[in-house]
Amino acid sequence: MSFQAYLDSIEDKTGKTPRALVEEAEQHGYNAAEVKASVITDWLKDEYGLGRGHAMALVHVIKKGSKISAKHVGADGSHRDATDTLWLDGKATRPA
């Protein structure tokens, strides 16, 4: 599953865009450098029922922003992303 596919799936599961969840995390202070990933994954599991893989995709966005490594961009395989910038504003608004 690509990084973007994880985020799209999170939107399906929670009814919230990735950006809305990032903003909610920031309101909780989870974007602070000292906050461990486990705190965020526990919150996402308890509040939204997300599993570890989906939660860790969102942890990356909360802690590091929407840029990802170009390692899998344009590569073959199931983990390939089309771009190194993730779309956080919801599937319905993503440019074609």
Classified as helix, coil or strand, 7 is helix
Token pair 């599953």: residue:
1
Q: Quick check: is 30 in a domain?
A: yes
**How many domains would you assign to the chain?**
1
Across the range 9-33, mean pLDDT stands at: 97
Q: Quick check: is 89 in a domain?
A: no
Enter the pTM of the model: 0.88
Instruction: Write out pLDDT tens, residues 35-65.
Output: 999 999 999 999 999 999 999 999 999 999 9
Instruction: Write out pLDDT tens, residues 63-81.
Output: 999 998 887 677 676 667 7
Six token digits for residue 78? 């199931």
Phi/psi of residue 67, each to 5°? -85, 140
Q: Identity (one letter) of the amino acid at 54?
A: H
Give the C-alpha separation, 71 to 89, whole Å.
23
- Domain of residue 30, residue span: 3-70
Q: What is the DSSP string of 35-62?
A: --HHHHHHHHHHHH---HHHHHHHHHHH
